[in-house]
Structure 1
Amino acid sequence: MRRLIGMTPEPSLYDSLGGMPALRRLSDAFYERVLADELLAPVFANFSPRHVEHVAVWLAEVFSGPAEFTTSLGGHQSLLHSHLGLGIRDEHRQRWLELMSAAVDDTFPDSPDLHAPLMSYFDWGTAIAQQVSQDPVGTDLGDPGPTPRWGREGLQT
């Protein structure tokens, strides 16, 4: 629900979630599941140990927190390029969403109202990741624009 002009603005998802510490917990909870999952573990086998932290930094920026992913890790272009050549299949994407949903529930048990906007973002983002993953490493993706920003009502413009 949008707030009326003159009223206190609704906090960002970043703030509502609890900032960077909460996103690190979410990323840790999710990747603990992924690395133990028979279907997804092979997809993530070559990721660096810093991947889990980078995901938390990405999510912070997407959910209207600090723009550290853009300033320090290459921004939207870098994120898209990291998915090139992975060959993500429908069953990978579906399992990813299932594991993330469980991680969201476990990480934010007292905030069920945040589940829908988070999963809406993850559904949107994994569709893009799957599409990009079909292209070979080295593909020129053009300029994807700035890092998207996501709020309770979806993609912010």
Structure 2
Amino acid sequence: MTERSQTLADAVGGIDALRRLSNTFYEHVLADPLLAPVFADFSATHIEHVAVWLAEVFGGPADYTDRLGGHQALLRSHLGLRITEGQRLRWMEVMRTAVDKELPDDELLRLRVIEYFDWGTKIARDVSAGDADDDLGAPGPTPRWGWNGLS
């Protein structure tokens, strides 16, 4: 069991670092022929929403839940996207590059962040097979990811 006193959100550098990570990531995603179609409805607010989501997941304030609809809203945003496993794997490659560029040079920190993305993208892929009117049930609160993975 890993013991570190700060949250992953603090360890990565807070919301500003997560904005930089999201921005770098989406610059590459939107230019990628395999991934760009998934983000056909992309808007600049998406970068901010992702940063706010990640801050909450990584132990920061519950702003995504309080202002943007929480876990249910995030899952619903993936409905109908029909994300393939190939797209998910490419997404992970692009994110690993962004993590290496934007996050502190801390092997364990980067590992935990990438583990979260691997876990989360599998859920996004599975949910994306559904349609906009599908009932997702009650997915529960926004997941929290820390130094030991899912809390």
**Which TM-score applies when normalising by structure 2?**
0.96
Counterpart of 2:16, as a letter, is P
Q: Equivalent of 2:92, from 74, 97, 119?
A: 97
Counterpart of 2:2, as a letter, is R
**Which TM-score applies when normalising by structure 1?**
0.92
The structure showing larger relative contact order (alpha-carbon pairs under 8 Å, at least 6 residues apart) is 2
Aligned to 1:2: 2
Q: For residue 2 of structure 1, give the secondary structure of its aligned residue in structure 2.
A: coil
Q: Equivalent of 2:105, from 104, 107, 110?
A: 110
Q: Equivalent of 2:16, from 14, 18, 21?
A: 21
Higher Rg of the two aligned structures: 1
1:24-53 residue CA offsets vs partner (Å, 9 max, x unmatched) = 000001001101111001110112321111
Contact 2:2–2:147, Cα closer than 8 Å, also in 1? no
Q: Does 1:39 align with 2:39?
A: no
More off after superposition, 130-139 vs 42-51: 42-51
User: Structure 1 runs of 4+ off > 6 angstroms?
Assistant: none
Aligned positions, number = 151
Q: Equivalent of 1:60, from 55, 59, 83?
A: 55
Structure with greater proportional helix content: 2
Shift of residue 110, structure 1, vs aligned partner: 2.5
Q: Does 1:86 align with 2:81?
A: yes
Q: How big is the alpha-carbon RMSD for the aligned residues of Structure 1 and Structure 2?
A: 1.1
Q: Unpaired runs of 5+ in structure 2? A: none
Percent same amino acid among aligned pairs? 60
Q: Equivalent of 2:65, from 50, 54, 70?
A: 70
Q: Aligned equivalents of 2:8 and 2:111: distance in 1?
A: 12
